[in-house]
Amino acid sequence: AQSVTQPDIHITVSEGASLELRCNYSYGATPYLFWYVQSPGQGLQLLLKYFSGDTLVQGIKGFEAEFKRSQSSFNLRKPSVHWSDAAEYFCAVGARSSASKIIFGSGTRLSIRP
């Protein structure tokens, strides 16, 4: 069965510092991969997605993620965080054989230190 693991529950970084949020997935074949962001009191917003092709994908708000098949990882990165990036981030995986369902990780809460 497919699964997603986000090992970091909470991360704090200083404004202007770089960021990397970890995501590992378990799936027998190449999955669809996503990162969503949830601001307090809001729904989830899609940051970026990987379906195929270039393993480095660019998203909105200056985020990028790299798919590494050998490590079953899809880590999210940003070179310089802004205070407005404080939110909850969810990695998600979808099966190509079941195009309608995606499984979400437990989320990583990002705090920004002024």
From the CB of 44, what's the least distance to other proteins, in Å?
Answer: 4
Tell me: does residue 106 bind other proteins (CB under 8 A).
Answer: yes
From the CB of 42, what's the least distance to other proteins, in Å?
Answer: 6
Tell me: does residue 59 bind other proteins (CB under 8 A).
Answer: no
| Span from 21-29, 40-48, 63-71, 75-83 in contact with other proteins (CB under 8 A) | 40-48
Among 3, 12, 42, 84, binds other proteins (CB under 8 A): 42
- 88 in Cβ contact with 110 (< 8 Å): yes
CA angle 91-37-74, nearest 5°? 30
Residue 87: is it exposed, middle or buried by C-beta count within 10 angstroms (0-12/13-18/19+)? Answer: buried
CA angle 49-53-58, nearest 5°? 40
Total Cβ atoms within 10 A of residue 10:
10
Applying CB under 8 A, which residues contact other proteins?
32, 34, 36, 41-46, 49, 51, 90, 94, 99-102, 104-107
